[in-house]
Amino acid sequence: MRHAHTVEQVRAAEADLMAKLPEGTLMQRAATGLAVAISNFLGYTYGARVVLLVGSGDNGGDALYAGQKLARRGAEVTAVLLSDKAHRAGVAALVAAGGRAGSPEEVGSVAAIAAADVVVDGIVGIGGRPGLKPEALATVKVATDHQVPIVAVDMPSGVDVDTGETPAEHVQATLTVTFGTHKICHFVDPAAAACGPVHLVDIGLELPPAPVASLQAADIRDLYPVPRGESDKYSRGVLGLMAGSSQYPGAAVIATSGALAGPIGMLRYVGPGKVADAVRAAHPEIVAGEGRVQAWAIGSGLGDELDIGKVRELLDAEEPALLDADGLKVLDESGDHTDVLITPHAGELSRLLGVERGVVEAERLRHAREAAERFDVTVLLKGSTTVIATPDGQVRVNTNATAWLATAGAGDVLAGLCGSLLAAGLTPLDAGSVGAYLHAAAARLAAADGPATAMQVAGKVAEATRLLLRRDHGDPR
């Protein structure tokens, strides 16, 4: 599991550790990790042309000391000081190592940046407000116009660190090097999309529990409900799927494909006779009609045939349920729904919350949390990074998606798969986060060489799961 902490938590941990260490130790640890990451990124150091964009805080200090270390190894380092309060000892150290430092005019920042092999963004870090001042923005624009890669120190300057929002201008990084722990902006879009890959440098911080986490391959191995010797089709879990309509029969077939690719032992399909025929033709292993189930997945493609009374009844029953698409229409703020998982996209969540879609997209974490609290459900907000929030305030973010996943029916596959995980006994939080991870991993396999349809994604879920469950090469569990 990767964890993201708030600025307040990082500051407290930093203060605790600094009290035990000689002054400047943490910055030196950060700068060393940063210098190594920049060298690795470039593939060489000697003769590399490095430009540092340096703001008024310690983020700039990290950049300056990293620049000192690179200059000592033969890099040609220029620091563009964007504030007259730039870290003084850092500037002196860089200059003593043979680097140059001065205001944009003094160092000829435009020419230096245009000719650079890499630009290091030390404008602001965790002390920054969103947005960039005009002078900083101008230097960043030169780098962007000349396609010079930008390595962000801690985070791309200008993003909102604790929310992942980007209400104003910000740096678009090629790589981000962060310290101690991930920050929320590294996981949550739109800021996460501005980070590039994020490299974490350990500086020895001791941190409290994190408010936001992100599953990794090893977590999927730990959480996936692998059948045991004594398992039968019922104990593996039976899912009831209510999806599809005469208007959208395909949604039932696609959601079924997602569900059968998950861990359940059996799937009961509940829907119109003709749609059931289509589902059976595609998947002879399904059982049509109601019966005992361990969880329900309701909503994909129900259209006008949504039976609100029936769905409410199922929601009030003791089995956990997943609501998607049209099924979301039955959700209200009354009642205890802690065993319900909903899987809206930004448009659907915006309708539930009565706000504009663009606002949900810009403030994904905030709105996922708000909906979880308001409707007392676990919310999986789909998107390039998927946010999963529980009514008791836990958040997981899934970051392994591929843009190829933006295809019709992909949401139906996800609903079926997450429903399958719910029926196999996972909590709504685990079912949502494991489902989102496997769905994205399957999409990566399906779309390795180009576009893929939702059915092709569903067709790769089993292979993605198999690869993830392997403990070592060639040894499937």
Ligand X SMILES: NC(=O)C1=CN([C@@H]2O[C@H](COP(=O)(O)OP(=O)(O)OC[C@H]3O[C@@H](n4cnc5c(N)ncnc54)[C@H](OP(=O)(O)O)[C@@H]3O)[C@@H](O)[C@H]2O)[C@@H](O)CC1
- Which segments are annotated as binding site for K(+)? 59, 121, 157
Is residue 219 close enough to count as binding ligand X by CB under 6 A? no
Residue number, 56 or 398, with CB nearest to ligand X: 56
φ, ψ (nearest 5 deg) of residue 340: -110, 135
Show the 3-state SS of 85-129.
CCCHHHHHHHHHCCCEEECHHHHCHHHHHHCCCEEEEECCCCCCC
If contact means CB under 5 to 8 A according to the sort of partner, which of K ion, ligand X, none does residue 121 touch? K ion
Query: For residues 128-157, which are near ligand X according to CB under 6 A?
Result: 128-129, 131-133, 136, 153-154
- For residues 1 and 335, what is the distance between their CA atoms, to the nearest angstrom? 32
107 binds, among ligand X, K ion, none (CB under 5 to 8 A by kind): none
Query: Which residues fall in the annotated binding site?
Result: 58-62, 121, 125-131, 154, 157, 251, 301, 345, 382-386, 411-412
Q: Which residue number, 149 or 167, has a Cβ lying nearer to ligand X?
A: 167
Hey, what are 38's tokens?
Answer: 């920049």
Count residues near ligand X (CB under 6 A). 29
Q: Which is nearer to ligand X, 125 or 258 (CB)?
A: 125
Measured from the CB atom, the residue of 128 and 237 that comes closer to ligand X is 128
Number of H helices, E strands in the chain: 17, 19
Residue 148 has a CB neighbour count (10 Å cut-off) of 18
Q: Is 160 in the site for K ion (CB under 5 A)?
A: no
Partner that binds at residue 128, options K ion, ligand X, none, CB closer than 5 to 8 Å by kind: ligand X
Site for K ion in 119-138 (CB under 5 A): 121
For residue 43, what is the DSSP state? T
Q: Which does 422 bind (CB under 5 to 8 A by kind): K ion, ligand X, none?
A: none
What one-letter code names the amino acid at 447? A
Token pair belonging to 328 = 């979301």
Work out what residue 430 binds among K ion, ligand X, none; the CB cut-off runs from 5 to 8 Å by kind.
none
Q: Is 104 in the site for ligand X (CB under 6 A)?
A: no
Based on the shown chain and the rule CB under 6 A, indicate whether residue 27 belongs to the binding site for ligand X.
yes
Single-letter residue type at 290: E
Q: Based on the shown chain and the rule CB under 6 A, indicate whether residue 127 belongs to the binding site for ligand X.
A: yes
Q: Quote helix, strand, coil % in the chain, to nearest 5.
A: 45, 15, 40
Is 199 a binding residue for ligand X by CB under 6 A? The answer is no
Residues 6+ apart with CB under 8 A from 22: none
- Taking alpha carbons only, the member of 87, 163, 154, 167 closest to residue 125 is 154
Applying CB under 6 A, among 99, 104, 125, 299 the residue interacting with ligand X is 125
Give binding residues for (6S)-NADPHX as ranges: 58-62, 125-131, 154, 251, 301, 345, 412
Q: How far is the CB of 127 from K ion (least distance, A)?
A: 10
Instruction: List binders of ligand X among 320-379 (CB under 6 A).
Output: none
Residue nearest to ligand X (CB): 125
DSSP per-residue letters across 320-384:
-EEE-GGGGGG--SSS--TTEEE---HHHHHHHHTS-HHHHHHTHHHHHHHHHHHHTSEEEE-SS
Question: What is the smallest separation between the CB atom of 51 and ligand X, expressed in angstroms?
Answer: 17
Q: What is the DSSP letter of 191?
A: G
Q: How many CB atoms lie within 10 A of CB 78?
A: 24
Is 4 a binding residue for K ion by CB under 5 A? The answer is no
User: Judged by CB under 5 A, which stretch of 74-82, 117-125, 385-393, 432-440 contacts K ion?
Assistant: 117-125
Nearest by Cα to 79 from 36, 87, 31 = 87
From residue 370, give the alpha-carbon distance in Å to each of 312, 388, 434.
Answer: 22, 12, 22
Q: Which residue has the tokens 């829907």?
A: 271
Q: Which does 62 bind (CB under 5 to 8 A by kind): ligand X, K ion, none?
A: ligand X
Torsion from C-alpha of 407, 409, 414, 416, nearest 10 degrees: -170
Establish if 166 lies at the interface with K ion (CB under 5 A).
Answer: no
- Which 52-81 residues touch ligand X, going by CB under 6 A? 55-59, 61-62
Spatial distance between the Cα atoms of 124 and 60, rounded to a whole number of angstroms: 7
154 in Cβ contact with 183 (< 8 Å): yes
Where does this chain touch ligand X (CB under 6 A) — which range of 49-57, 188-196, 316-324, 335-343? 49-57
Tell me if 323 contacts K ion by CB under 5 A. Answer: no
Which segment (23-31, 194-202, 241-249, 399-407) binds ligand X by CB under 6 A? 23-31
> Among residues 13, 153, 314, 395, which is the contact residue for K ion, using CB under 5 A?
153
Residues engaged in binding ligand X (CB under 6 A):
10, 14, 26-27, 30, 55-59, 61-62, 123-129, 131-133, 136, 153-154, 179-180, 203, 205
